[in-house]
Chain A
Amino acid sequence: MNQTLVSYLSQYTFFDSLLALFGNNQGVLTFVIYLVFVLIIVGMCATIGGLGTYAERKISADLQLRIGPNRVGPYGLLQFLADGVKMITKEDVMPNSADKFLFYLAPLLALIGVFATLAVLPFSSGLAMADLNVGIFYLIAISSLVGVAVFLGGYASNSKWSMLGGLRGASQIISYEIPVTISILAITLIAGGMSFGTIVGAQKGSPINWFIFHNPFTFIGFFVYFIGALAETNRAPFDLPEAESELVSGYHTEYTGMRFGFFALAEYIEVFVVCGVGAALFLGGGNLPLPIEIDIIPVQLAQFAIFMTKALLLYYVVIWVRWTFPRLRVDQLMSICWKYLTPIAIFNLVGCAIWVVVFNGHSVAQILGGH
């Protein structure tokens, strides 16, 4: 059965009084709880996406010995709000020759594909909205919508730059999905389940139990996942679909105002989601480093804080990588994916399978500890 937020909250006594408040109608209460949490999570992730644009500019400024945005609000922190207001008040321009329906549809698909992944993201062991038993599978499937959106955006604009960017984006996103999926497959094999609850729960305790330290293959697998995730979210050094020095702005050349804003928002939230998944799969998710067995709301909040810290640290690394490495050529991009990452990922998968059989599923630490 799927563990959900509601079935988690139902173990507390305040839940029954809440239920009485809604006239003992379980369906309505379930809906209201989900709606409130969806709004909280979406608001939080939109703020993280907004602050992501700010962090990107500020960190890039630091790395290049510039000052960066510092006018709007304290330290320029409210820059993203000013950007949002600016985008709303910009004129909506659409090329005459564009495919109008698909042109509207593309940013919406990107937004849906990113928002829907938030449903299974394990913020803590109880506060994940729905811990589906096919969690990681669902996440891979629904996040592919972003690839469709990138291609549709490029195609519908009927501009040559957009078309080239869309084609590059589509081929890049689908190619890098393979190493990412296979390295996730190795984690599924070790954890013995596809739900985030199972995967994060298997990494309880000290950091030595994290899956990145489980065996040498998962250690390599983390880097395969991270490189593939960078490419899947079109981040530098894999930002060929929107390479500004070659393709003007790639697939969103013709997008203005709010529609461009939605593309940017979806992209920045997707980076956060990818970092969160990396933290949950390889870096122990929201597990406390102490063996605490009691399950109360403060423990859940501490788990939430730990999960966010790990995800945002990975987010920092993503921005750091962007301003450190030069962009790849398109042929290098494809050969890195198909000739290096995919064989390494398959090697890791085979290695993990053999490890599970030979060492009976124990990690390196357990073997050295004499279990």
Chain B
Amino acid sequence: MNFKDRYLSGETMIQAQFDGLMPIVILISVAILLFLGGHFLSVFLAPKKPSVLKSTPYECGEEPVGTAWSMFNVRFYVVGLIFIIFDVESVLMFPVAVIFKELNEMGHGVYALVIFLSFISVLLEGIAYCWKKGDLDWVKSFQTSLKK
């Protein structure tokens, strides 16, 4: 009985399922070790001459006024909202896309297509609504809010 048979046998099946995740854990640990190692090296090799001017944020020679953590443009928030809607929809479409070919081979192709298209049409309705409201325009959305 060679390794592969044992590997595929029920005894180690659960272990084999998780084996695929092991390189991910190792890669993440390598990234962390590389990061810590780089810092460790630079502690020994880099000069340390702190001064007040060095530790102020860089603003092209001007003295910084206030903090950068202030209010920012609401457009970024709108972009984030639209993204979440699209991202969730595309996540929901992935399982359908995986079995779509299989469904077609089983003879349910048209049925699957109708369901798939009706799902996408909801997505398209969303993008049409945002487009009409002017949320997809970077500048125009600002102007329409001024008119009100």
A158 touches B68 (CB 8 A): yes
Known contacts being A91-B46, A94-B55, A189-B100, is A116 close to B27, with CB within 8 Å? yes
Known contacts being A88-B38, A253-B58, A361-B104, is A5 close to B28, with CB within 8 Å? no
B76 touches A170 (CB 8 A): yes
CB closest residue in chain B, given A162: B68
B contact residues around A171 at 8 Å (CB): 75-76, 79-80
Does A38 sit within 8 A of B, measured CB to CB? yes
A92 touches B110 (CB 8 A): no
Cα A35 to Cα B94 with chains together (Å): 32
CB closest residue in chain A, given B4: A10
Q: Chain A interface secondary structure, helix, strand, loop or mixed?
A: helix
> Which residues of A come within 8 Å of B, CB atoms?
1-2, 4-7, 10-11, 15-16, 19, 26-27, 30-31, 34-35, 37-39, 42, 88-98, 107-108, 111-112, 114-116, 118-119, 129-132, 137, 155, 157-163, 167, 170-171, 174-175, 177-178, 181-182, 185-186, 188-194, 248, 253-254, 257-258, 261-262, 330-331, 334-335, 338-339, 342-343, 346, 349-350, 353-354, 356-357, 360-361
B20 touches A353 (CB 8 A): no
A contact residues around B101 at 8 Å (CB): 189-192, 356, 361
Contact with A along B33-65 (1 / 0, CB 8 A): 011001101100111111000111111100010
Cα A233 to Cα B144 with chains together (Å): 32
Distance (Å) between the CB of A272 and the closest chain B CB?
15
**A116 contact from B24, B59, B80, B99, Cβ within 8 A:** B24
B contact residues around A16 at 8 Å (CB): 2-3
Known contacts being A115-B27, A330-B138, is A174 close to B19, with CB within 8 Å? no
Distance (Å) between the CB of B60 and the closest chain A CB?
7
CB closest residue in chain B, given A158: B68
A37 touches B35 (CB 8 A): no
B contact residues around A261 at 8 Å (CB): 38
Cα A258 to Cα B39 with chains together (Å): 7
CB closest residue in chain B, given A186: B97
Cα A93 to Cα B48 with chains together (Å): 9
B contact residues around A39 at 8 Å (CB): 30
Sorted nearest first, the 9 A-B pairs with minimum C-beta distance are A331-B138, A159-B57, A192-B101, A2-B20, A130-B20, A189-B97, A258-B38, A357-B109, A129-B23
Q: Can you report 23 residue pairs joining A to B where beta carbons are below 8 Å apart? A: A4-B16, A7-B7, A15-B3, A30-B22, A88-B41, A88-B42, A94-B55, A111-B35, A112-B32, A118-B27, A119-B24, A157-B57, A170-B76, A189-B100, A191-B101, A193-B98, A261-B38, A262-B38, A331-B137, A334-B137, A335-B138, A339-B131, A346-B127
CB closest residue in chain B, given A130: B20
Cα A338 to Cα B13 with chains together (Å): 45
Cα A331 to Cα B76 with chains together (Å): 12
B contact residues around A157 at 8 Å (CB): 57, 68
Distance (Å) between the CB of A42 and the closest chain B CB?
6
Q: Chain B interface secondary structure, helix, strand, loop or mixed?
A: helix
Known: A130-B22, A194-B94. 6 other contacts (CB 8 A): A4-B23, A7-B16, A39-B30, A112-B28, A159-B64, A343-B127
Cα A39 to Cα B48 with chains together (Å): 32
A contact residues around B104 at 8 Å (CB): 356-357, 360-361
A contact residues around B82 at 8 Å (CB): 338
Known contacts being A10-B7, A335-B136, A335-B138, is A111 close to B31, with CB within 8 Å? yes
B87 touches A178 (CB 8 A): yes
B contact residues around A137 at 8 Å (CB): 94
Does B67 sit within 8 A of A, measured CB to CB? yes
Distance (Å) between the CB of A152 and the closest chain B CB?
13
Known contacts being A19-B3, A115-B28, A257-B42, is A160 close to B64, with CB within 8 Å? yes
CB closest residue in chain A, given B82: A338
A contact residues around B87 at 8 Å (CB): 174, 177-178, 181
**B98 contact from A97, A188, A350, A361, Cβ within 8 A:** A188
CB closest residue in chain A, given B131: A339
A108 touches B124 (CB 8 A): no
A338 touches B58 (CB 8 A): no
Does B139 sit within 8 A of A, measured CB to CB? yes
A contact residues around B17 at 8 Å (CB): 1-2
Does B116 sit within 8 A of A, measured CB to CB? yes
B7 touches A356 (CB 8 A): no
Cα A26 to Cα B135 with chains together (Å): 56
B100 touches A192 (CB 8 A): yes
B contact residues around A129 at 8 Å (CB): 23
B contact residues around A27 at 8 Å (CB): 15
Known contacts being A178-B83, A356-B109, is A26 close to B64, with CB within 8 Å? no
**B23 contact from A11, A38, A338, Cβ within 8 A:** A38
Known contacts being A1-B17, A159-B58, A356-B100, is A7 close to B46, with CB within 8 Å? no
